[in-house]
Amino acid sequence: MHGYANPARFLKFARPATGWFLGLGLLLLAAGIAGGLFVTPPDYLQGETVRILYIHVPAAWLGMAGWAGIAFASLAQIVWRHPLSAVAGRAVAPAGAAFAAICLATGSIWGRPTWGTWWEWDGRLTSMLILFFLYLGYIALASAERERGGDGRMAALFGLVGAINLPIIHYSVLWWRTLHQGQSISITSGSTIAPELLWPLPLTLAGFSLLFGAAVLMRMRADLALTKVEARLRRSSGQ
Amino acid sequence: MNPWQFVIAAYAVCLGGTALLLLWAWQSMRSAEAQADSLKRRP
DSSP B1-43: --HHHHHHHHHHHHHHHHHHHHHHHHHHHHHHHHHHHHHHH--
Nearest-angstrom CA–CA distance, A99 and A186: 21
**Statement: residue A239 has pLDDT above 60:** no
- Asked if the structure places residue A185 within a domain, the reply is no
- For position A171, which CATH number holds? 1.20.120
Q: What does pLDDT average to over chain A?
A: 92
CA of A114 to nearest chain B CA: how many angstroms apart?
10
- Asked if the structure places residue A191 within a domain, the reply is no
A231 in contact with chain B, both atoms CB, cutoff 8 A: no
Q: What is the number of domains present in chain A?
A: 1
**Helix (H, G, I), strand (E, B), or coil: what is residue A21?**
helix
Asked if the Cβ–Cβ distance from B10 to A106 is below 8 Å, we say: yes
**Statement: residue A37 has pLDDT above 90:** yes
| Percentage, residues of chain A above pLDDT 90 | 73
Higher pLDDT, A197 or A1: A197
Q: Which pLDDT does position A3 carry in this prediction?
A: 61
- Asked if the structure places residue A2 within a domain, the reply is no
What is this model's ipTM?
0.94
Q: Which pLDDT does position A188 carry in this prediction?
A: 73
Mention every residue, 6+ apart, whose C-beta is less than 8 A from residue B32. Answer: A221, A222, A223, A225, A226, A229
**Statement: residue A238 has pLDDT above 80:** no
Nearest-Cα residue of chain A relative to residue B38: A229
A30 in contact with chain B, both atoms CB, cutoff 8 A: no
Domain residues for the domain of A97 are: 7-179+199-238
A chain contacts of residue B35, beta-carbon cutoff 8 Å? 225-226, 229
- Asked if the structure places residue A192 within a domain, the reply is no
Q: Which pLDDT does position B6 carry in this prediction?
A: 97
**Statement: residue A108 has pLDDT above 80:** yes
| Contact yes or no for A108/A119 (Cβ under 8 A) | yes
- Asked if the structure places residue A43 within a domain, the reply is yes
Q: Which pLDDT does position A35 carry in this prediction?
A: 96
CA-angle at A207, arms to A105 and A100, nearest 5°: 25
- Asked if the structure places residue A41 within a domain, the reply is yes
**Statement: residue A200 has pLDDT above 70:** yes
- Asked if the structure places residue A114 within a domain, the reply is yes
Q: Which pLDDT does position A4 carry in this prediction?
A: 63
Q: How far is CA A37 from CA A44, A52, B7, in A?
A: 16, 9, 9
**Statement: residue A165 has pLDDT above 90:** yes
